[in-house]
Structure 1
Amino acid sequence: MGDDPYSGKNFDHRKVWIEQHLQQFAAAFGIDLLGFAILSNHFHLILRTRPDVVVAWNDQEVARRWMLLCPHRRHADGSPMPPTESEIQSIAGCPVKRAEIRKRLSSISWWMRLLCQRVATRANREEEESGRFFQDRFHATRLADEASLLACAAYVDLNPIRAAMAATLEGSDHTSLQRRIQAIPAGDRCEVAGSANPLAMAAVDSVDRFLSPLTIDERTDPIGPCPSESGCRCSDKGFLAMPLEDYLQLLDWTARQVAPGKRGKTPAGVPSVLKRLRLDASSWCELASDFGSLFCTVAGRPERVDSMRSHRTHRRYHLRRRARELLTSAS
């Protein structure tokens, strides 16, 4: 999905394919898209399944959404045509099929299955090839608490910088982070810490409208499903207990710590969010840079992970030693 050193061709346009599919899926599935980063040979997604939202949809809405994802008919450009009443009734009128589709609409496995399948089909058609495009099935890590969610969000958003594909937050192409920065009103972008001439970026309204809102205020925000009325995303529920400005400052500070040759002394004004989540600066840097190797099936504080059991086997989850050390020392 990037530069091919053997043929000399560039395949960055496939990253655009994925972003287009993410927008479509966020509007149709009962799943919140919290973050994403698309690199040259892999991509990361942070997803929150929302069966509570799907339960509120009537039978016709369930059928309509599925028909938009898997249409019987398409326009000449490949976009799905609106389903007919008979197509909707083929699902809404069948209790067995309807129940199965409801489960699929909040299933991360189905989201990933359709996404990877469509990218593979387009890539194979483009190169007149057949067979696998992605090496293997996706790997998923369950995020069990706020600290692991914040560390994972930073890990995903900072991927292009760590891979030397970008030098700044706003220059990290094909990421949810860039979308959120572009959606900031032009007059407010001077507040973004570490931005390289952010006012020079074109102001694009609502380019992040398919993403879940970043901020959640547990004291004042409404509880419950919070379904979105925009039709661009599943719900309007945020996921981090901080404003976007604080999150950007935290990422900018973190990027400077993990950048080669810039490990200097920890700044005096470490963002207060680290203290709120009981994370010290050194532990945070390691969590944000090595998240993928520290966690496997579940990510969270030891006391949280130790209390959890697999829904399928009822066995306890295993937390790797270094992850346990980091999150214990930070408590």
Structure 2
Amino acid sequence: MTIARSQQVSLDITPYYHCISRCVRRSFLCGQDRYSGRSYEHRRQWVEDRILALARIYCIDICAYAVMHNHYHLVVHINQAKAGQLSNVEVIERWGAEHQLPPLIQRYLCQPLTAAEVRRSEALIQIWRQRLYSLSWLMKELNYEIAREANLEDGCTGHFWEGRFKSQALLDERALLAAMVYNDLNPLRSGIASTPETSEYTSVKKRLDALKQNQPTPPGLFPFTGSRTSHQTEGLPFRLMDYLELVDRVGRQKNDDKNGHIANHYPKILTRLAFDPDEYLYLCQSIERYRCLWIGTSEQLKQAKKVLNKQRISAIRL
């Protein structure tokens, strides 16, 4: 039975989520059509560009992504506080970057309004403010634009994506790291890349390319801040170099049901977060293998059930 999105996304529990959206017409939509020989690889660039463009508009930070041949993954941080701090004009500017503004709002920006018109304008702005940190709205606008362009290119109509995107709540730093590493190693595990730095259309390659140009964080991606006590208040609470070592460490492990892997060494981050390497490898491999909506420790999952008023939830327990 379909589970309401409000039962899968709760900002009272966690702002971090892993999302997956799949094509409905199989691999040739974003890869190579083995029947006609036609390549659709360029559509992966569409998806990557669209993800990074929407990240600059929405108050939803992109932690990691991977665009595969017939699906894509996102790990996001929903930044409700950032949306609340935007002025009304900033909300209008962000929403207007993707949508046509109604005449009332255009007048709101440049000429006096009656009290009733001001109230109506501010009510509309509040709706847009809430949408700017809505995961459903982000995924809707991402998928709609790609589907529209693909159908136009194919000269057809109909569904491009499966019905709804899937989401998993990431309840702590271990779950967050597992989902990010799983995303960034997707091309390697699938055998279409040999190393993270050659994994096209992934966040790890985007970050590595930015490093080559002396950019700490590429536009559109959530920065690594090093720790929660860092002078930079918003960002991933890990060092980028430690994260890259972790990706390399997990990527060197052989996976029974995947072909790709790279050579082995131990990263600093496993020691810092007191991980058992074998347990952590299992978690990274389990992100999508098992059907689940929540990932965290026993105590965190108990708290999630309490907030959701549920006896059971589909989960991976750390």
CA contact (8 A) 2:248 2:264 kept: no
| 1:61 counterpart residue number | 90
| 1:192 counterpart residue number | none
Matched, 1:105 2:132: yes
User: How many percent identity over aligned positions?
Assistant: 29
TM-score (norm 1): 0.76
Which shows bigger deviation, 280-289 or 171-180? 280-289
1:310–1:68: structure 2 CA closer, same or farther, 3 Å change rule? farther
1:261–1:110: structure 2 CA closer, same or farther, 3 Å change rule? closer
* SS state at 1:71 partner: coil
Which shows bigger deviation, 270-279 or 30-39? 270-279
Moved over 6 A (4+): 89-92, 260-266
Residue 107 of structure 1 deviates from its aligned partner by: 0.3
CA contact (8 A) 1:67 1:88 kept: no
Residue 184 of structure 1 deviates from its aligned partner by: 1.3
Distance 1:124 1:157 in 2: 28
CA contact (8 A) 1:310 1:317 kept: no
1:294–1:279: structure 2 CA closer, same or farther, 3 Å change rule? farther
Deviations for 1:75-107, whole angstroms, at most 9, x for unmatched residues?
A: xxxxxxxxx944857999613211211110000
Deviations for 1:13-39, whole angstroms, at most 9, x for unmatched residues?
A: 111111221122111111111110000
Matched, 1:31 2:27: no
| 2:18 counterpart residue number | none
Distance 1:85 1:49 in 2: 28
The one-letter amino acid of 2:171's match is A
The one-letter amino acid of 2:90's match is E
CA contact (8 A) 2:225 2:232 kept: no
* SS state at 2:74 partner: strand
| 1:209 counterpart residue number | 219
Q: How many residue pairs were aligned?
A: 279
Q: 1:300-311 alignment to 2 at 5 Å?
A: 300-309=296-305
Residue 118 of structure 1 deviates from its aligned partner by: 0.6
Distance 1:58 1:112 in 2: 24
Distance 2:299 2:190 in 1: 33
TM-score (norm 2): 0.79
1:67–1:145: structure 2 CA closer, same or farther, 3 Å change rule? same
| 2:99 counterpart residue number | 70
| 2:237 counterpart residue number | 240
CA contact (8 A) 2:75 2:180 kept: yes
Match of 2:270 among 268, 274, 284: 274
Residue 315 of structure 1 deviates from its aligned partner by: 1.4
Distance 1:254 1:284 in 2: 8
Residue 283 of structure 1 deviates from its aligned partner by: 1.0
Residue 8 of structure 1 deviates from its aligned partner by: 1.1
Residue 129 of structure 1 deviates from its aligned partner by: 0.7
Distance 1:67 1:264 in 2: 45
Distance 2:216 2:276 in 1: 35
1:136–1:220: structure 2 CA closer, same or farther, 3 Å change rule? same
Deviations for 1:234-276, whole angstroms, at most 9, x for unmatched residues?
A: xxx22132x2122111111211113678999975xx3232233
Distance 1:28 1:41 in 2: 26
Matched, 1:7 2:17: no
Match of 1:132 among 153, 159, 179: 159
* SS state at 1:179 partner: helix
Residue 144 of structure 1 deviates from its aligned partner by: 0.6
Match of 1:219 among 204, 229, 232: 229
CA contact (8 A) 1:298 1:317 kept: no
Greater strand fraction, Structure 1 or Structure 2? 2
| 2:313 counterpart residue number | 318
Q: 1:136-285 alignment to 2 at 5 Å?
A: 136-185=163-212, 203=213, 205=215, 208-223=218-233, 237-241=234-238, 243-258=239-254, 267=265, 270-285=266-281
Matched, 1:50 2:46: no
| Gapped regions of structure 2 (runs ≥ 5) | 1-29, 111-116
* SS state at 2:271 partner: helix
Deviations for 1:102-129, whole angstroms, at most 9, x for unmatched residues?
A: 1100001000001101100110111111
| Gapped regions of structure 1 (runs ≥ 5) | 74-83, 186-202, 224-236
Matched, 1:122 2:119: no
